A and B are shown apart, each in its own frame.
Chain A
Amino acid sequence: MAVSQARVRSVGAAKSPLLGFAMFTPAVLYIVLLIGAPFCLAVFYAFSDARIGSKGLHYVGLENFRSILQSPSFHAALKHSIVFTLVAQIIVMVCANILSIALEKPFRGRGLVRFLILLPWVAPVSLGAIGWKWILDSIYSVISWLLGWLHLVNPFDPPMWLGEPKLAMASVILVHCWRLVPFSTVILLAGRTAIPKEIPEAAAIDGAGFWRTLFQISLPMMLPIMSVAFLFGTIFTFTDMTVVYILTAGGPYDSTQTLPSLAFTTGITGSDLAAGAAISVFLVPVLVVIAYLMLRMANRTELA
């Protein structure tokens, strides 16, 4: 009995490294080929004078970084990226909190509402963004039509949602929030349901109203998981260019140009591969810090 068991185990043990290797390889290949290689290539290009359509490739040191740091469009894009990320994240956090409170208690049709709220997250970004492009269109915008109908704007001179710098930035932020809110809502809902039911009840008995319970009990208890949602959303927003690219392509007058979209327009559209790569690589240290904070928070949540 003992012998046969030992044999079974040794056969299993002999097989398992191969099996483990086979299971592991696709993930490693995926990361190396689709993330690792392009990343190394980007770092390599960032120190070169690579251009689309040119065969020459020379090492130029920090020349690309020096030139982008001096370029006004880079400064503007950095500023836009920070505004875009922070404002979007703040709006997302507030909305996700409100939604998670609303969706916590059972009511008729809660399942349907949860499904509808998740839709923007599961629908393809490009599809959603194109839908928004029509909603915000200068001529066909339903928002302008509605506001005109309510006599809030002049129907013959509607706001150019994507055509005026401030409005364009607000529109891009709004659409990005629309995409990100479902994700944060799900995370916060999980955090909220993890709070034992007796805690808010004890607070009610202790005499705390809705706001006191929210700000002094629920939110502090959800802080670790909210930080995870916040940092994840930050990375997601900071590196995203889909919404900007489809809605405004960085315009008008570069007023919605963020770092990822600037890297794309400089490197691919503008064929200056080296400068585009340098802009992308510039994002790395920022993201590493955020990722580190996020992992630490996640770790702390697990321990708590």
Chain B
Amino acid sequence: MAVVATRNLTKVFKQGALGAVNEVNLETREGEFLVFLGPSGSGKTTLLRMIAGLETPTSGEILIGGKVVNDLTPRERRIAMVFQSYALYPHLTVYKNIAFPLKAQGVDRSLHQQKVEWAASLLGISGLLDRKPRELSGGERQRVALARAIVREPAVFLLDEPLSNLDAKLRLSAREELERFHRRIGTTTIYVTHDQVEAMAMGDRILVLNHGVVRQFGTPREVYDEPADTFVATFLGSPPMNLIELDDVIAGFRPEHFRLAEEVKDADRVAFKFRVENAEYLGAEYILSGCLVGGRADGKKIIARLLLGHTFEIGVTYDFAVPERHLKFFDRSTEKKVQARALTWQ
């Protein structure tokens, strides 16, 4: 096992253009499950590929286990990677796919069978060893890819959106399985995804990226509750945080903190009049969208997320409120988080 770190890691594909990855500094902890989260084109995959050794950094350093590995081949970095498409070798059986890294790294032949069987049983694919990849389902392919990755007992695991090719139902169970798998082997893992739910659910910590720049690096709780800027605030959470521009700040609150005034017990709270324009019934909750009425933020679009128990009529204005402790503040020009302050809302 090992710790992965980067120092001012930068990748510029086209000279003069903005880098795909810019000055990224990060350090994993031993055995951590770290998630790179960002929209497509945010540089998360490029960052992962540089750590894997598939992409050469323009500048900066990559360290694995305290050693600079910039000039080492992927093989010498002792990493394993699972690709989005799984990249199984189509002409080889599952057994030979899993045994390939052992062969390539010159592991003693007599150990192959035992190791392949160990990896296969860990992922519950012992019955599939004679099949070819094209005879497997998406979920089975993913497990073969994982088995091929763990069979050589790597120092670091890199996963590039391994769930995105599965259908929604399978994705949930595969996610759970991955989490259990990680707890069991305890290898430092870096996981790339654009899905904030996956990131929140699986990550010990999340590195939020946009345009190749780290926007925030913290635990799921930190990035959700204390977003460092408006990008993180709106990228995490579904529906995203409501943002209201007032004076030189942007005030924000999550849809689940925007509640009926009668339910908000806090003494320090901001009251709003909210006209419902659309209501979506999602079984366990309502998603209301509408706009504020009166006050300085008159007409501002707001999304609210409420548990069942009330009925709302479209076009009617209700009394809503947000506890002050749930208000977040961002600088209007830099969009970075700033200290909480008193605002006049009316």
Q: Given contacts A196-B87, A221-B91, is CB(A204)–CB(B73) below 8 Å? A: yes
Contact of B91 with A206 in the complex, beta carbons under 8 Å: no
Residues of B with C-beta under 8 A to A221: 89-91
Contact of B105 with A217 in the complex, beta carbons under 8 Å: no
CA gap between A216 and B85 in the complex, in Å: 20
Q: Which of B74, B84, B89, B90 contacts A204, CB < 8 Å?
A: B74
| B323: Cβ under 8 A from any A Cβ | no
A-contact 0/1 string along B220-245, CB 8 Å cutoff: 00000000000000000000000000
Could you tell me the distance in whole angstroms from the C-beta of A104 to the nearest C-beta in chain B? 16
Contact of A196 with B81 in the complex, beta carbons under 8 Å: no
Q: Which of B83, B85, B105 contacts A207, CB < 8 Å?
A: B105
A-contact 0/1 string along B41-55, CB 8 Å cutoff: 000000000001110
| B318: Cβ under 8 A from any A Cβ | no
| B100: Cβ under 8 A from any A Cβ | yes
| A198: Cβ under 8 A from any B Cβ | yes
Contact of A199 with B87 in the complex, beta carbons under 8 Å: yes
| A203: Cβ under 8 A from any B Cβ | yes
In the complex, chain B residues 28-46 whose Cβ is within 8 Å of any chain A Cβ: none
Residues of B with C-beta under 8 A to A196: 85, 87
| B148: Cβ under 8 A from any A Cβ | yes
B-contact 0/1 string along A201-221, CB 8 Å cutoff: 111111111001000110011
Contact of B83 with A206 in the complex, beta carbons under 8 Å: no
Q: Which of A201, A208, A223 contacts B100, CB < 8 Å?
A: A208
Residues of A with C-beta under 8 A to B116: none
Residues of A with C-beta under 8 A to B152: 206-207
Contact of B104 with A212 in the complex, beta carbons under 8 Å: yes
Among B73, B79, B88, B104, the most chain A Cβ lie within 10 Å of the Cβ of: B104
Residues of A with C-beta under 8 A to B88: 202
Could you tell me the distance in whole angstroms from the C-beta of B316 to the nearest C-beta in chain A? 47
Could you tell me the distance in whole angstroms from the C-beta of B181 to the nearest C-beta in chain A? 19
CA gap between A204 and B54 in the complex, in Å: 8
| B75: Cβ under 8 A from any A Cβ | yes
Q: Given contacts A198-B83, A212-B104, is CB(A205)–CB(B89) below 8 Å? A: no
Residues of A with C-beta under 8 A to B79: 205
A-B contact count (CB 8 A): 58
Q: Given contacts A204-B75, A206-B148, A212-B104, is CB(A199)–CB(B54) below 8 Å? A: no
Could you tell me the distance in whole angstroms from the C-beta of A233 to the nearest C-beta in chain B? 23
Interface size class of A (residues with CB under 8 A): 10 to 19
Residues of B with C-beta under 8 A to A205: 52-54, 74-75, 79-81
CA gap between A120 and B88 in the complex, in Å: 38
A interface, by DSSP: helix, strand, loop or mixed?
helix
Among B52, B84, B91, the most chain A Cβ lie within 10 Å of the Cβ of: B91
Could you tell me the distance in whole angstroms from the C-beta of B211 to the nearest C-beta in chain A? 24
Q: Given contacts A221-B90, A221-B91, is CB(A206)–CB(B85) below 8 Å? A: no
In the complex, chain B residues 67-105 whose Cβ is within 8 Å of any chain A Cβ: 73-75, 79-81, 83-85, 87-91, 100-101, 104-105
CA gap between A223 and B83 in the complex, in Å: 24
In chain A, what residue has the closest Cβ to B160?
A: A198
In chain B, what residue has the closest Cβ to A195?
A: B90
Contact of A207 with B104 in the complex, beta carbons under 8 Å: yes
In chain A, what residue has the closest Cβ to B55?
A: A201
Q: Which of A198, A203, A217 contacts B85, CB < 8 Å?
A: A198
B-contact 0/1 string along A177-211, CB 8 Å cutoff: 00000000000000000001011011111111100
In chain A, what residue has the closest Cβ to B89?
A: A217
CA gap between A217 and B84 in the complex, in Å: 19
Q: Which of A198, A199, A207 contacts B101, CB < 8 Å?
A: A207
B-contact 0/1 string along A42-72, CB 8 Å cutoff: 0000000000000000000000000000000
Q: Which of A201, A208, A209, A212 contacts B83, CB < 8 Å?
A: A201
CA gap between A187 and B53 in the complex, in Å: 31
CA gap between A292 and B170 in the complex, in Å: 44
In chain B, what residue has the closest Cβ to A219?
A: B91
Q: Given contacts A217-B89, A220-B91, A221-B91, is CB(A201)–CB(B104) below 8 Å? A: no
Could you tell me the distance in whole angstroms from the C-beta of B187 to the nearest C-beta in chain A? 15
In chain A, what residue has the closest Cβ to B80?
A: A205
In chain A, what residue has the closest Cβ to B101?
A: A206
Could you tell me the distance in whole angstroms from the C-beta of A73 to the nearest C-beta in chain B? 45
Could you tell me the distance in whole angstroms from the C-beta of A23 to the nearest C-beta in chain B? 38
Could you tell me the distance in whole angstroms from the C-beta of B109 to the nearest C-beta in chain A? 15
Could you tell me the distance in whole angstroms from the C-beta of A193 to the nearest C-beta in chain B? 16
Contact of B104 with A206 in the complex, beta carbons under 8 Å: yes
In chain A, what residue has the closest Cβ to B75?
A: A207
Residues of B with C-beta under 8 A to A206: 75, 100-101, 104-105, 148, 152
Could you tell me the distance in whole angstroms from the C-beta of A32 to the nearest C-beta in chain B? 42
CA gap between A107 and B88 in the complex, in Å: 28
Further pairs besides A201-B83, A203-B104, A206-B148: 4, Cβ < 8 Å: A202-B87, A202-B88, A207-B74, A209-B75
Give the top 6 A-B pairs by smallest Cβ distance, nearest first: A198-B87, A202-B87, A207-B75, A207-B104, A206-B101, A207-B105
A-B contact pairs, 24 of them (CB 8 A): A196-B87, A198-B84, A198-B87, A201-B54, A202-B87, A202-B88, A203-B100, A204-B74, A204-B75, A205-B53, A205-B54, A205-B81, A206-B75, A206-B101, A206-B148, A207-B74, A207-B75, A207-B104, A207-B105, A208-B100, A208-B104, A216-B100, A220-B91, A223-B91
